[in-house]
Structure 1
Amino acid sequence: MDTKTKTRISIKQIIKDLIPDINYQLLFTFILGLVVLYVVFFKLLKTKTSKNVIALLGLCGSGKTQLFYQLCHGIDVLSVTSVKESSHSLSISDSRKVTVYDIPGHDRIRYSLFDKIKSQLKALIFVIDASAIQEEIKDVAEFLYTILCDGSVQGCKPNILIVCNKQDIPFAKGASLIKSSLEKEMNLLRVTKSNQLKSVGTGENNNSFLGYQGQDFEFNQLKSFKISFVDAVASKGEQIDSIKNWLKTI
């Protein structure tokens, strides 16, 4: 009998002497269970801590880039159309930091750029030009509807702030009126999208129907999200305190 064999026998004998009635199969199962629990816990912890992104979304000209620079740099800028997202680390409390992304509003690129970060969403700020909402209501509603239907976004369950910007412009609509107008438009939109899906045979097994069947759409029906509306003036940072206060709560 060689030395290695003697060593293995000795170790096994020592374990038997210490724990004479040990069930090796049960011990192995217990250790394996601990390993699995550790891996699952580590993945959950990693997923939770990785959701530190705030996305700024909105149509071109809504003022989201001005808001981005006010929140992240405290300066006012004249925004220009961009084909690339901007990002900046922002402290929202003494111990918490998030990364804010300003996603370009052009419809040809906004979804592809948003796709890169949507799985890490902690919160979403959707900016609306309150002075042009009557002309843009359909485009705004469709963009917002598409975002809310996204499976990755629904999985993250981000806090959502809808910013009704440019309140300093005459005849700009207030947050309560814009909310009501969006609910009406999105109610029509979901009927259209539902009919389109049925016509191609996809049925109802999708994320494209928001709210409750048989009821007019309301934002409070979306239990996956906590949606708030605020009035704001991003230009020169004149009226963004409500946004800063909201950031502290997410």
Structure 2
Amino acid sequence: MDYVRKASGALEASLGVGSSTASVLTFLLILISIYVTLQIFQVVSGSGTRSRRSRGNAALILGPCGSGKTSVFFRLRDGEEVQTVSSLAPARDSFEIKAGEAADQKLGPLEVVDFPGHLRMRGKANDMVKEARCIIYLVDAEDKPKLKDVAEHFYELFTHPDVLELHTPMLVACNKSDLTSARTEKFIVEEIEREIEQMRVSRAATLEGQDQADSYLGVDGEKFKLLEHAPCPIQTCRISVKKNQLDPLYDFLLQQFA
């Protein structure tokens, strides 16, 4: 109260007003100061909260149609292969995953989301990243023409604000590796890199002179390398859902959820 009386006296002397008017002005100034301080605190606190934003808790399965996403989902959930058809509806469930034969390697229950691979659903798939702890991206190792679509989706994911902020780990799983016509993991990675590099060149020319911070991928002056230049941790592996050869996938889930 001494501070208030001193401030009121100072206003009374400097403005030449009465003591009651000076007291009112003093309290108004105090209220304004408190309001401004609270506003500043909210702004700073809000910025801090955004910077500490964390990833979600789901294992998000992505990939083009026919790559084996839904087969992986049911293999993880039910431990068996099922016949699947393409769908425009996500499959979502929480269940325990037995990673290998050892009983002490059970995970969960984990929330697993199998998101449709249709091109028309790609935007919604990208928006699911904020709910993901990690991404399992299925690639059909036998289907070379689809690798262009995969590269386009990777470009969209790698320049998506949620991936840039959250650095969501991704496993690129080359499925159907048991087939004799399956491409090697090295071939698939290099083909994706080649397609992304072409997109980088064409989009850089389109965006010349504009702000490219949120849309330019890779390092200027270097050819794009998937494992080195992606804005999130990337692992690659070969699997076969049909043959139940999923150890790399289980290892990845153990890394993310154990």
Normalised TM-score (structure 1): 0.74
Give the direction of change, closer, same or farther, for the CA distance of 1:167–1:84 in structure 2 (3 Å limit). Answer: same
Choose the corresponding residue for 1:77, options 82, 93, 102: 82
2:119 aligned counterpart, secondary structure: coil
The aligned length equals 216
Q: What does 1:1-250 correspond to in 2, within 5 Å?
A: 47-48=53-54, 51-91=56-96, 97-115=109-127, 117-133=128-144, 135-198=145-208, 203-222=210-229, 224-236=231-243, 238-250=244-256
1:235 aligned counterpart, secondary structure: coil
Matched to 1:127, the amino acid is L
- 5+ residue gaps in structure 2? 1-33, 98-104
> Quick one: percent identity of the two aligned structures?
28
Contact 1:67 1:235 in 2 (8 A): no
Give the direction of change, closer, same or farther, for the CA distance of 1:206–1:94 in structure 2 (3 Å limit). Answer: same
Larger radius of gyration: 2
Query: What are the Cα deviations for residues 168-215 of structure 1, in whole angstroms up to 9, with x where unaligned?
Result: 2222012122112211111111111222333xx6x1333222110000
The Cα of 1:222 is off from its aligned counterpart by: 3.0
1:139 aligned counterpart, secondary structure: helix
Query: What are the Cα deviations for residues 63-111 of structure 1, in whole angstroms up to 9, with x where unaligned?
Result: 1110111112212112211111111224466675432111100001232
Equivalent-residue separation in structure 2 for 1:208 and 1:247 (angstroms): 29
Equivalent-residue separation in structure 2 for 1:204 and 1:244 (angstroms): 40
Give the direction of change, closer, same or farther, for the CA distance of 1:46–1:62 in structure 2 (3 Å limit). Answer: same
Equivalent-residue separation in structure 2 for 1:217 and 1:121 (angstroms): 25
Superposition CA RMSD, Å? 3.2
Give the direction of change, closer, same or farther, for the CA distance of 1:182–1:112 in structure 2 (3 Å limit). Answer: same
- 5+ residue gaps in structure 1? 1-27
Matched to 1:220, the amino acid is L
